[in-house]
Amino acid sequence: MKCGMKILVVLLVLGGLGYAFYKHSGFFLYDHSPMQYMPNMHHTRVLIPQRGYDFFADGAGARVPPKGSLAREQNPYPYTKETLAEKVSRNVNPLPATKAVVLKGQHVYNNVCIVCHGSLGVGDGPIVPPFSKPPSLQSEKIRGFADSQIFHIITVGQNVMGPYAQIVPENDRWAVIHYIRAMQRAYQPTTEDLKAFDQLTTKKNEGTTAP
Ligand code: HEC
């Protein structure tokens, strides 16, 4: 290779490395006059939360919603924690007890309630103790409660059990009640339940037994 050729190759390699450094190192990125590609995105006309705004009498940019306004899909709940569940109106569950709804309820129960109330609802969840033992969901009291009375306890809480309205959306609360009902029926089945269960299992086993 001729000497001139060698110099050319070295220059090309150095040039390439230099260009790569300029492009990718970020070394030349921050100069004293940053370019704003879309200044309207930096200097938006939208009010910035926590920043003042002279237009309003109180000088605050963030506004308090007008009294009585509701967020979308937020249903006001008329009772408070002080209202006893027994005093709540005995409304019916707005959700039908379909398989999908009961399975949704099971999902909620297993994720939220089971740690205290246990897999059968008798109050033997894995964190009891140290958490105080809840009364059984299989009791005559809860069996006799209307769904809306159970809904009330989940929504606002009861004594040491906190409210679950923030974690469990309204429909999931109704769904978990259907699951509690299913648990109650599994725990203390009626004669009809047992008959239906027998029919179901014989149907399932048909063809599996020898003739
Ligand atoms: C951190 C533990 C804990 C979790 C989680 C929990 N509970 Fe409770 N629950 C309790 C305790 C403790 C009580 C008893 C409160 C009292 O002293 O009145 C209770 C009471 C209840 C009662 C009333 C029982 C009665 O006889 O008065 C119902 C119904 C109930 N819980 C349903 C639920 C449902 C449904 C969930 C899930 C969405 C849930 N709980 C989640 C601990 C819990």
Q: Which of 117, 138, 152, 160 to mutate to test the pocket of ligand 1 (most atoms within 8 A of CB)?
A: 117
Nearest atom in ligand 1 to 180's CA: 35
The alpha helices in the chain, defined as continuous H runs, are: 3-24, 39-42, 99-108, 114-117, 140-144, 147-156, 170-187, 191-205
Q: Is 150 in the pocket of ligand 1 (CB under 6 A)?
A: yes
Q: What is the pTM of this model?
A: 0.71
Is residue 45, in this structure, part of any structural domain at all? no
**Closest protein CA for atom 1 of ligand 1:** 116
State residue 118's pLDDT score: 95
Whether 36 shows a pLDDT value over 60: the answer reads yes
Is residue 154, in this structure, part of any structural domain at all? yes
Residue found by looking up tokens 């008959």 in the block: 195
The more confidently predicted of residues 76 and 41 is: 76
Nearest atom in ligand 1 to 132's CA: 12
What's the domain count of the chain?
1
Whether 29 shows a pLDDT value over 80: the answer reads no
For the record, the structure tokens of 42 come out as: 């930096």
* Cα 112 to ligand 1 centre (Å): 10
State residue 107's pLDDT score: 98
pLDDT per residue over 127-173, tens digit each? Answer: 988 999 999 999 999 999 999 999 999 999 999 999 999 899 999 99
* Cα 71 to ligand 1 centre (Å): 28
Is residue 178, in this structure, part of any structural domain at all? yes
Check if the beta carbon of residue 109 is closer than 8 Å to that of residue 98: no
pLDDT per residue over 69-121, tens digit each? Answer: 888 877 888 899 999 999 998 989 999 999 999 999 999 999 999 999 999 99
Is residue 173, in this structure, part of any structural domain at all? yes
**Closest protein CA for atom 37 of ligand 1:** 113
Angle at 64 between CA 60 and CA 70, to 5 degrees: 160
Is residue 64, in this structure, part of any structural domain at all? no
Is residue 66, in this structure, part of any structural domain at all? no
**Closest protein CA for atom 14 of ligand 1:** 134
CATH code of 165's domain: 1.10.760.10
Is residue 43, in this structure, part of any structural domain at all? no
Whether 26 shows a pLDDT value over 80: the answer reads no
Q: Which of 106, 108, 116 to mutate to test the pocket of ligand 1 (most atoms within 8 A of CB)?
A: 116
Is residue 6, in this structure, part of any structural domain at all? no
Section 187-196 average pLDDT: 91
Q: Is 168 in the pocket of ligand 1 (CB under 6 A)?
A: yes
The range of the structural domain enclosing residue 123 comes to 95-187
- Rounded-to-integer distance, Cα 152 and Cα 136, Å: 17
* Cα 2 to ligand 1 centre (Å): 89
